C-alpha cells in the first residue's frame, strides 16, 4: 500500500520516458493519483498499455487546446518535466531551433503552470515543481541555446516562489546534472544535424566535441532524480533550488574554467 503521508493528485508533463515516466510510476506505487501526460497520442497509448495504474493524457504543452484541459483538473502538485534540447554555438544556431526551445521549455511550461494555478489558489494550497537543469545556472560552449531556456525557467520559478507563497502555493526548482536517460546524448548530437565546416564557429569544432564527451561520458543513474522528485512532491517544505548530484555546480564551473 502507499508509503505516502498525504496521497494526492500529481500532474506530470513529459511522462512518456526518462525522469517523468520514472516519477509517474514511483508516485503511483506510493498511492498518489498520477495524471501522466505525453506529447503525442501514440506515446499516450504506449504508456497507458504499459502502466494501466496511471491516468494517461495527451498534453502537448505547446498546444493551447491541450493546455486548456489542465485548468479543469484538480491537481495538488504540478511537476513540469517536459522539455526539449538543442546544442550549437550561438553564432551559428538556427533561430528557428532556438524559438522551438523557448516554445517548449519556457512558454509551454509557463502556459501549463498558469492553467494549474487558479484551482490551487482557490483551494489555498498546491505545489509547482519546475525541472530546470545545472545548465540553468552554468552555461558552457555549445550548450548556450539550452542554457538560455533553463536560465529563463530559473527566473520564472524564483519569481513565482515569492509571488504564490501568500496563496499557499509552493514553487521549487529541480536542477539535475548529466543523468543517463538518453536526453543528453540526443541533445549533444543535435548540433551536428546542421553544424559543419562552413559554420562561423567551425574553428572551435574540437572544443565542441570535447564538451560533448564531457557531458555524455559517465552519466549518472536517473533513479536518483526520480527519488528526489518523489521527495519534493511529498515534502512539507522545499528549498528554492535542488541540485543533483550534490556539488554539481562547483564541478561544472571547474570544468568550464578548465576549457578557457
Q: For the domain that residue 201 is a member of, what is the CATH number?
A: 3.40.50.720
pLDDT at 234 over 90: yes
Closest CA to 12 of 230, 237, 222, 221: 230
Contact 245, 178 (CB under 8 A): no
- Overall number of domains in the chain: 1
Q: Rounded to whole angstroms, how far apart are CA atoms 176 and 28? A: 22
Say if 169 falls within a structural domain: yes
- Give CA–CA dist 61/65, Å, rounded: 9
Q: Domain residues for 78?
A: 9-259
**CB-based contacts of 183, cutoff 8 Å, min separation 6:** 18, 83, 85
pLDDT in the model for residue 98: 98
- Residue ranges of the alpha helices (H) in 191-247? 205-216, 223-234
Q: Show contacts of 205-210: CB within 8 Å, 24+ apart.
A: 207/141, 207/142, 207/259, 208/87, 208/89, 208/141, 208/142, 210/259
Can you tell me the mean pLDDT for 205-220? 95
61 phi and psi angles, rounded to 5 deg? -70, -5
Stretch 38-59: mean pLDDT: 98
- Asked if pLDDT for residue 2 goes beyond 50, the answer is no
pLDDT of residue 6: 63
Q: Establish if 1 belongs to a structural domain.
A: no
pLDDT at 247: 81
pLDDT of residue 254: 78
Query: For residue 4, is it within any domain?
Result: no
Q: How many residues does the chain have?
A: 260
Residue 221 Cα to chain centre, angstroms: 16
Residue 91 inside a domain? The answer is yes
CA gap 93, 246 in Å, rounded: 32
Residue 209 in domain: yes
Q: Between 93 and 4, whose confidence is greater?
A: 93
Q: Report CA-CA distances (Å) from 142 to 91, 136, 145, 147, 170.
A: 10, 14, 8, 10, 33
Residue 198 and residue 38: Cα distance in Å, rounded?
A: 37
* Catalytic residue from among 146, 179, 195, 208: 146
Structure pTM? 0.93
pLDDT (average), residues 205-232: 96
Is residue 179 among the annotated active site residues? no
Using 50, 70 and 90 to split pLDDT, how confident is the model at 250? Answer: confident
Does the pLDDT at position 255 exceed 90?
no
Average pLDDT over every residue of 71-75: 96
In DSSP terms, 77 is beta-bridged to: 10, 127
Residue with cell 496563496: 167
Residue 167 lies in a domain: yes
pLDDT band (50, 70, 90) for residue 203: very high
In a domain, 184, yes or no: yes
For the stretch 137-195, pLDDT in tens is 999 999 999 999 999 999 999 999 999 999 999 999 999 999 999 999 999 999 999 99
> Which residue in the block uniquely carries the three cell numbers 509517474?
24
Cell numbers at 162, concatenated: 515569492
Q: What is the 3-state secondary structure (H, E, C) of 23-52?
A: HHHHHHHCCCEEEEEECCHHHHHHHHHHCC
3 has a pLDDT exceeding 50: no
Task: Report whether pLDDT(4) > 70.
Answer: no
In a domain, 173, yes or no: yes
Among 2, 218, 200, smallest CA distance to 90 is for: 200
Amino acid at each position: 500500500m502507499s508509503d505516502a503521508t498525504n496521497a494526492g493528485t500529481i500532474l506530470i508533463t513529459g511522462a512518456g520516458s526518462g525522469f517523468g515516466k520514472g516519477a509517474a510510476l514511483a508516485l503511483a506505487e506510493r498511492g498518489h493519483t498520477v495524471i501522466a501526460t505525453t506529447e503525442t497520442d501514440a506515446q499516450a497509448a504506449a504508456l497507458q498499455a504499459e502502466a494501466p495504474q496511471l491516468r494517461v493524457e495527451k498534453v502537448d504543452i505547446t498546444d493551447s487546446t491541450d493546455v486548456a484541459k489542465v485548468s479543469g483538473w484538480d491537481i495538488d502538485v504540478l511537476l513540469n518535466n517536459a522539455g526539449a534540447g538543442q546544442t550549437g554555438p550561438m553564432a551559428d544556431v538556427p533561430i528557428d531551433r532556438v524559438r522551438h526551445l523557448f516554445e517548449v521549455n519556457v512558454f509551454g511550461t509557463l502556459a501549463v503552470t498558469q492553467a494549474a494555478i487558479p484551482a490551487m489558489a482557490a483551494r489555498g494550497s498546491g505545489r509547482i515543481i519546475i525541472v530546470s537543469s545545472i545548465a540553468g545556472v552554468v552555461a558552457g560552449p555549445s550548450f548556450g541555446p539550452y542554457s538560455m531556456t533553463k536560465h529563463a525557467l530559473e527566473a520564472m520559478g524564483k519569481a513565482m516562489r515569492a509571488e504564490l507563497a501568500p496563496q499557499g502555493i509552493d514553487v521549487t526548482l529541480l536542477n539535475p546534472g548529466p543523468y543517463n536517460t538518453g536526453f543528453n546524448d540526443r541533445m549533444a548530437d543535435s548540433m551536428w544535424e546542421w553544424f559543419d565546416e562552413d559554420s562561423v564557429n567551425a574553428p572551435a569544432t574540437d572544443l565542441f566535441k570535447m564538451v560533448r564527451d564531457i557531458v555524455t561520458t559517465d552519466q549518472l543513474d536517473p533513479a536518483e532524480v526520480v527519488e528526489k522528485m518523489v521527495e519534493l512532491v511529498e515534502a512539507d517544505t522545499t528549498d528554492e533550488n535542488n541540485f543533483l548530484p550534490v556539488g554539481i555546480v562547483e564541478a561544472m564551473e571547474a570544468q568550464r574554467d578548465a576549457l578557457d
